[in-house]
Structure 1
């Protein structure tokens, strides 16, 4: 399963990519609005950190299909490298997805709340779909179940579109998405840290070191 950082915080992205296997970065308008620098500069600096081969996801803000397409073209022309344009799964968005597919621009269907929205987005030619796990849960539905249904539909119809699950509040949701067969997840820096570490691991290492030093007087082999 691929792990994407859902953030535009440069220091956090830099640290996470230094220590862990990170497959790319996803952004959205809200994430970029939190940063104090010009958003184009932030996006370019993210690419400097992760490289131009790893995917960088950038979301459109336009409302009509033609405007979404124009914005998408501007995004891929401004940013070199492996760019994916995030297009919302709404009526004008589906029309834009089809046009962008014909233009050869990589896309992700975002703001997915049902398995059928994901399937319709895949039929329009997107490379990824992003079901909002925690937001679905907040609507008294089951976000993990929606992910599992999308995976089943894609496998049934042998679609190449991948499931990039999003909107998480804890590592248990990420774990369950892994079990459900999600191809990738995008999560905040704090959850990525939590996925990799456990306090008992540090306690165990400390115990090994203490026992070794007590016997041999040094902390190396």
Structure 2
């Protein structure tokens, strides 16, 4: 059904590539007025919507972006995947991971909620991961901890504002093909001595025998942003190719 997001204004962080870009394209196709943002403005080239730079780690930048977009739908996609166990993590790594993966969502939600409440409703979609409180993954200590925190943040926002027309959900993907994922495969390949071996290792943990496309995740964001999911809030939505179900 076309036009599933007709009449909605949507703000997307990290829309320059991967899931964020696929979501921006899907939202435009479904009739939303999209405000696609990224720290690197050049990555937004080619998107058929309004684009501007936004630093999810900066309060002033976030407030300015929210004031500009006045979103009915907020998709928090900005994040970073750290590699290593607790013994590899530095204080700076840990602080950066929580600032970008969790605190950024605190900033955007805090800025966007007043307008949503004034307009009588809104949908917030946060990017979590199957690697979180859902399932553990090797050498994803900081990442797993931050994405578990996103699930808790999501549930808290959902329950606090459920009576006021606000829905808040999060998405928990497995491995998704994206430029940043290929960078991680390359880095692991350098450790393993072969890019192909690293690729096989990533794919092997997905029971379906492949990784997800960004468009497959974007389709779930469209659903959660649309009125089709009007009875859905406060939940982590797992889309991991059966990884956590083994």
TM-score interval, normalised by the smaller of the two chains: 0.3 to 0.5
Q: TM-score scaled to structure 1, two decimals?
A: 0.35
Compare relative contact order (CA 8 Å, sep 6+) and give the higher one, 1 or 2.
Answer: 2
Bigger Cα Rg: 1
TM-score, normalization by structure 2 = 0.32
